[in-house]
Amino acid sequence: MYKILLLAFALMLLIEGMLPFLAPHAWRDMFRRLTELADGQIRFIGLSSMVLGLILLMLFR
């Protein structure tokens, strides 16, 4: 179980690090725009991300 969890964490770090490495200007621009969003909008993005992750987990399990 821990091995799978660590592999998932490593994959997340790999994917998250790709955009700042490949396109730092676009990454900085994206975060600048994110800071201008209202709290409710950020919460909706977080909720959508969690729901999509759960759906993908259920589909590929």
Range of the domain at 54: 2-59
Contact 38, 45 (CB under 8 A): no
The domain tally of the chain equals 1
Q: What is the arithmetic mean of pLDDT over 24-35? A: 93
Percentage of the chain beyond pLDDT 70 is 100
Q: How far apart are CA 46 and CA 30, in angstroms?
A: 15
Q: What's CA 6's distance to the chain center, in Å?
A: 16
More confident residue, 24 or 61: 24
- Report the pLDDT value the prediction gives residue 1, as an integer from 0 to 100: 81
